[in-house]
Chains A and B, each alone.
Chain A
């Protein structure tokens, strides 16, 4: 509380927060889990610095007897930051494990589309009375939905889900390979 109103926040710290959060947000929007992971780390650190900004002016170490209370830093945000760092560390470890598992299963760590969503969409494609779907309007570049529409009468072993045209060497859909 002490330092809150006395000094304007340090411009450098605010700049650091801005850069970290901006790059973090950009990376979190990626499809690869590893990039998301890096984005989360940057975001977390940016917010931790934000807490330092929130604590106001820097002062001496907040130890009883070492200096006057008015000169001390606010220690509560530092406690917040410590807690937040520990939590972010745990979540980072979990994300890393998940990215690794995804790589084990698929050979890459990109987040896939929801299969049920695709089925609902495929039904919309097949249903001629449904005007809710426009193949040209699909922004999903992972599957060529125009071909999916043609493939409505595919046989069992070759549904749109198993065979995704244009995906190149990347294992498509939800194949379960064992550990790579």
Chain B
């Protein structure tokens, strides 16, 4: 009989081994896809098993290499880790199936993108490593794994647009990593350890000023990765250029790894909540600036990127409240947001495929063209905006409750801003829905933008053709410049007239069916989003008890270092300090059954 902790390293190991295999099988497309899908299925099953095991037997700890805790590196799977891991592995698997189907549909045999699968698996391993790491330096390594993989995925094909977007992304990411590395060095200088279980006690013993400096450094590093407002400008700039599945998995996971790191350090390492007010202000700015940016966009991908930034504000708000209820709602909201944001980007990929563009100026009548696509977009869009009874609504209600329970001026301002952001999100996605899906298709595109957007070749084409794609696009540009000629031929879908769809424009619209295996994972994720609503009760119970564990701090330390080692650790103070006990009982949230755990 295997012990439960044996499972813990698997989500890191399996994708890494899979990546090696996939690289060796670069010439055998089907085998490569099979290896990747198998590896990620194993990860998803493992994560789910660990989630259940942790509920049963408590935190799982593995000392890697057999070194004692405090000397070697630990992998720690507690409730928060396993919850994040389960959702992220489900999402990565779905996106992988989507991209395999996209590759098959485009007939990319022999194309120079054999690197996609190995890189994608390394990304997945990096995400798992970050979630499971029990060591600050290992967390850094996890970040680097996923970042290095994301660099490759973002610049896949090396086209002009992607190199431009990639430059910003790579430089900003490296800068944040260097800040993080500096923070690790200073933490080690101050405490003599990088182990997350040993740090709480030693950090508590430090001078206040030193501790504040370390906390700020870590917050800046994670804030860049999580795209928190003043540090978020890189995100809408770089994400929309990547292939649809890549953007989807980035949007779902990468910023949330940053959020996870913030939750972990804010609760475990710096429980006194001295920066909570700062975080609340930052959350406010993130919400409002992000959503106002989204309202101004005409491209669906960019609109979604801005809403992604905006909704990071909700998560930071939950963390900053640092009450039981606030943390529980934040954890639930993370899960909801990973699922919904990924789904929306995948659907946008389908829209781009069907309509030839993601610009709202040139899309129209998509709902008539493909009712299924309409449903697939509509449900997660409403979920994102927080229409009852969907999971986005439940998460927001939880956060609002937490804000009201706190009662301070700043939290109340945040509550108002949160509701306002929710309304503006509704406005933004409704605008996208109206213009792209519901309106009558217009036949005359805006010509000046047509020329400017000549680079928007559908992701798949660009990825596949690589250097060769340049010629296709030059061709496309020429056609687009003579846009009026093309624009008058009376086709229904304007997008198909632009250079973007040059390779498919000659086909009759009905011939460009959506591949079933691209629709299936998207539909699966839509269903997962709905499932989050149906299972809101148990899920809130889990997130609530995860929040309790986080706020206690001692459970984590004792699980790693042994019983009695955390006797002197104070629990997380919370903003008001005294409110901690008061709200613990009302943590049930909208699900109504969370408080009894």
Q: Is residue A95 within 8 Å, beta carbon to beta carbon, of the partner chain?
A: yes
CB-CB under 8 A for A94 and B148, given A50-B185, A102-B163, A112-B164: yes
Decide: B451 and A176 in contact? CB cutoff 8 A: no
User: What does DSSP make chain A's interface, helix, strand, loop or mixed?
Assistant: helix
A114 to B160, CA, bound (A): 12
CB-CB under 8 A for A176 and B448, given A28-B175, A98-B167: no
Chain B: CB-nearest residue to A102: B163
Q: Is residue B297 within 8 Å, beta carbon to beta carbon, of the partner chain?
A: yes
B188 contacts which chain A residues (CB < 8 A)? 51, 54-55, 76-77, 80
CB of B376 to closest CB in A, whole Å: 25
A98 to B449, CA, bound (A): 28
Decide: A54 and B151 in contact? CB cutoff 8 A: no
Q: Is residue B87 within 8 Å, beta carbon to beta carbon, of the partner chain?
A: no
- Residue from the list B167, B184, B448 in contact with A111, Cβ < 8 A: B167
A115 contacts which chain B residues (CB < 8 A)? 161, 452
Decide: B178 and A54 in contact? CB cutoff 8 A: no
A119 to B446, CA, bound (A): 13
Decide: B160 and A157 in contact? CB cutoff 8 A: no
- Residue from the list A47, A98, A116, A177 in contact with B185, Cβ < 8 A: A47
Chain A: CB-nearest residue to B471: A178
Decide: B148 and A179 in contact? CB cutoff 8 A: no
Q: Contact string, B441-476, partner A, CB cutoff 8 A, digits 1/0?
A: 000000111111001000000000001001101100
Decide: A91 and B174 in contact? CB cutoff 8 A: yes
A159 to B170, CA, bound (A): 29
CB-CB under 8 A for A105 and B448, given A43-B178, A77-B188: no
Decide: A102 and B452 in contact? CB cutoff 8 A: no
Decide: B178 and A159 in contact? CB cutoff 8 A: no
Q: Is residue A36 within 8 Å, beta carbon to beta carbon, of the partner chain?
A: yes
A98 to B165, CA, bound (A): 11
CB of A85 to closest CB in B, whole Å: 11
CB-CB under 8 A for A53 and B159, given A119-B452, A120-B296, A157-B451: no
CB of B16 to closest CB in A, whole Å: 15
CB-CB under 8 A for A156 and B451, given A47-B178, A120-B296, A120-B297: yes
CB of B68 to closest CB in A, whole Å: 13
A82 to B375, CA, bound (A): 52
Q: Is residue B271 within 8 Å, beta carbon to beta carbon, of the partner chain?
A: no
B189 contacts which chain A residues (CB < 8 A)? 4, 53-54
Decide: B170 and A95 in contact? CB cutoff 8 A: yes
Q: Contact string, A43-71, partner B, CB cutoff 8 A, digits 1/0?
A: 11001001101110000000000000000
Query: Considering the complex, which residues of chain A in the window 143-180 have a beta carbon less than 8 Å from any beta carbon of chain B?
Result: 154-157, 159, 161-162, 174-179
- Residue from the list A1, A98, A156, A159 in contact with B163, Cβ < 8 A: A98
Query: Considering the complex, which residues of chain A in the window 68-125 have a beta carbon less than 8 Å from any beta carbon of chain B?
Result: 74, 76-77, 80, 83-84, 87, 90-91, 94-95, 98, 101-102, 105-106, 111-112, 114-117, 119-120
Decide: A28 and B151 in contact? CB cutoff 8 A: no
A157 to B240, CA, bound (A): 24
Q: Contact string, B316-351, partner A, CB cutoff 8 A, digits 1/0?
A: 000000000000000000000000000000000000
Q: Contact string, A34-48, partner B, CB cutoff 8 A, digits 1/0?
A: 001000100110010
A8 to B178, CA, bound (A): 24
Chain B: CB-nearest residue to A152: B448
- Residue from the list B141, B192, B455 in contact with A87, Cβ < 8 A: B141
CB-CB under 8 A for A176 and B473, given A80-B188, A156-B451: yes
CB of A95 to closest CB in B, whole Å: 6
Decide: A156 and B137 in contact? CB cutoff 8 A: no
Q: Contact string, A4-44, partner B, CB cutoff 8 A, digits 1/0?
A: 10000000000000000000000010000100100010011
B264 contacts which chain A residues (CB < 8 A)? none
Decide: B148 and A33 in contact? CB cutoff 8 A: no
A161 to B448, CA, bound (A): 10
CB-CB under 8 A for A106 and B160, given A36-B171, A43-B178, A50-B182: yes
Closest 9 CB pairs of A and B: A54-B189, A1-B192, A111-B167, A50-B185, A156-B447, A157-B481, A54-B188, A161-B452, A4-B192
Known: A105-B160, A176-B474. 12 other contacts (CB 8 A): A40-B171, A54-B186, A74-B192, A77-B188, A87-B141, A90-B148, A105-B163, A114-B165, A120-B297, A161-B452, A176-B159, A177-B470
Q: Report which B residues bind A (CB closer than 8 A).
A: 137, 141, 144, 148, 151-152, 155, 158-161, 163-168, 170-171, 174-175, 178, 181-182, 184-186, 188-189, 192-194, 237, 240, 296-297, 299, 302, 447-452, 455, 467, 470-471, 473-474, 480-481, 483
Query: Can you list 6 A-B pairs, Cβ within 8 angstroms, ordered by A?
Result: A77-B185, A77-B188, A80-B185, A101-B163, A176-B473, A177-B470
Q: Report which A residues bind B (CB closer than 8 A).
A: 1, 4, 28, 33, 36, 40, 43-44, 47, 50-51, 53-55, 74, 76-77, 80, 83-84, 87, 90-91, 94-95, 98, 101-102, 105-106, 111-112, 114-117, 119-120, 154-157, 159, 161-162, 174-179
